[in-house]
Amino acid sequence: MATSVSSVAVFCGSNTGVDPAYKDAAVSLGHLLAARGLDLVYGGGDVGLMGVLADATLAAGGSVHGVITRALEEREVAHRGLTSLEVVESMHERKAAMADRADAFIMLPGGFGTLDEFFEVVTWTQLGIHQKPCGLLNVSGYFDSLVGFVEDASSQRFIQENYRELVLIDADASTLIEKLETWTPSTSEKWLDRRTR
User: In sequence order, what are the beta bridge partners of 168?
Assistant: 135
Q: Is 73 left (phi over 0), alpha (psi -120 to 50) or beta?
A: alpha
Q: What is the pLDDT of residue 1?
A: 57
Residue 187, in any domain of the structure: no
pLDDT, averaged across the chain: 93
Is residue 190 assigned to a domain?
Answer: no
186 assigned to some structural domain: no
Residue 191: name the closest of 119, 134, 99, 128 by CA: 128
CATH number of residue 142's parent domain? 3.40.50.450
At residue 185, the pLDDT reads 83
Q: Is residue 193 part of a domain?
A: no
- Closest listed residue to residue 8, CA positions, set 121, 116, 159, 89: 121
Is the residue at 196 inside a domain? no
Q: Which domain holds residue 105?
A: 7-180
Tell whether pTM > 0.75.
yes
Number of domains, the chain: 1
pLDDT tens per residue, range 81-138:
999 999 999 999 999 999 999 999 999 999 999 999 999 999 999 999 999 999 999 9
